[in-house]
Amino acid sequence: MTTTVLLTGASGFIALHIIDVLLSKGYKVIGTVRSQSKADKIIKNFQNEKPSGDLSFEIVEDISIPNAFDHVLEKHPEITKVIHAASPFFYGVDKDSLKTTYLVPATKGTENILTAIDKFGSKVENVVITSSFAAIVHRHKLARKYISENKVSYELTTVNPPFVLGPQKFEDVLINPTLNTSAETINKLLKTDPSDEHFFDTPLGLATDVRDVALLHVLPLEDQNLKGKRLFPVNGAFNGQTLLNVINKNFKDLKIAKGKPEGAEEHVAKNHWFYDSSKSLEWSGLGKWIPLEKTIIDSVSQILEYQKANEK
């Protein structure tokens, strides 16, 4: 019998890659999105690529409204796996609006999916939540607190990525002047001024490839060893200058900033977070993460090819 997976926030950057993995593995996917037009667009894109894929949608306009997911779980008692990827995601929110625009929807959304499962998801065996590197650093673990305080019958796994980079699942979003928060990191560098010679010390962070992140959401649905784990994929540390250096090395004709190429790796080595993602690599059985250089090259290639195909 086909296994049914509920994926929340199905229109997101990471979520579209998760749909791709799920459909490739033959799962039936029920996504939640905020509007029918988003659902129609995603169905159309996947119909071209995976015509036999079983993909449908339910509308959840706002994950933070009480009982937001109840109607979905109630309507689909066949759901046995849940991946919760819906959450507002952006950097640079000022302290005053952080709570309302970010923390409230994120935490309420998580609470709402877990309570909907309690009420209507008696067959749910696995729950995978897209968390964040920030939740490791700051030890905010609402979902884990919830399952320790409530008797639940499913296994919880979290995926805790740092900056998620890499190509978009479908290039149509490249029509937008800016991309989703993390992918915009690279897109922004392609708009830099060739005469700019300052050292791009920001952003500074750890990175991972969106395709590995997507896979890590699906493996726990199948692999007993991943149940209960917190998965932390990292393919390297970077700053704006190391990204620029990789882009300039691989796309020599591009007219973008060179910055100050020297000393970039040293700057990253001195300033990035200490990390060790070897356990996640071992547990997942992936062998190696997609290398950061490939992540960058694939992102840039997709953007350039799209621009070339659409130049007037």
Which positions touch ligand NDP (CB under 6 A)? 9, 11-15, 34, 38, 60, 62-64, 85-89, 105, 130, 132, 161, 163-164, 180, 182
Q: Name the residue nearer to ligand NDP (CB basis): 161 or 236.
A: 161
Query: Minimum distance from CB of 223 to ligand NDP (Å)?
Result: 21
Query: Minimum distance from CB of 166 to ligand NDP (Å)?
Result: 10
Distance (Å, rounded) from C-alpha 201 to C-alpha 239?
Answer: 6
Q: Name the residue nearer to ligand NDP (CB basis): 105 or 167.
A: 105
Contacts of 42 (CB under 8 A, 6+ apart): 10, 11, 16, 19, 31, 33, 55, 57
Query: Minimum distance from CB of 3 to ligand NDP (Å)?
Result: 22
96: three-class secondary structure by DSSP: helix
Q: Name the residue nearer to ligand NDP (CB basis): 108 or 258.
A: 108
Q: Name the residue nearer to ligand NDP (CB basis): 23 or 85.
A: 85
Query: Minimum distance from CB of 123 to ligand NDP (Å)?
Result: 24
Tokens representing 228? 């209960």
**Other beta carbons less than 10 A from residue 122's beta carbon:** 10
Query: Minimum distance from CB of 286 to ligand NDP (Å)?
Result: 18
Q: Name the residue nearer to ligand NDP (CB basis): 13 or 283.
A: 13
Distance (Å, rounded) from C-alpha 168 to C-alpha 214?
Answer: 12
Pair type for strands 163-165 and 204-209: parallel
Q: Name the residue nearer to ligand NDP (CB basis): 3 or 182.
A: 182
Query: Minimum distance from CB of 302 to ligand NDP (Å)?
Result: 16
The CA radius of gyration of the chain, in Å to the nearest whole number, is: 20
Nearest to 32 by CA among 95, 96, 113, 121: 113
Distance (Å, rounded) from C-alpha 71 to C-alpha 59?
Answer: 10
CB-based closest residue to ligand NDP: 12
Q: Name the residue nearer to ligand NDP (CB basis): 105 or 220.
A: 105
* 30 touches 56 (CB < 8 A): yes
Query: Minimum distance from CB of 296 to ligand NDP (Å)?
Result: 14
Residue keyed to tokens 């490939």 = 294
Bridge partners (DSSP) of residue 165 are 209
Q: Would you say the C-alpha torsion 291, 293, 299, 302 has a positive or negative sign? A: negative
Q: Name the residue nearer to ligand NDP (CB basis): 3 or 87.
A: 87
Nearest to 220 by CA among 209, 232, 233, 229: 229
Query: Minimum distance from CB of 135 to ligand NDP (Å)?
Result: 8
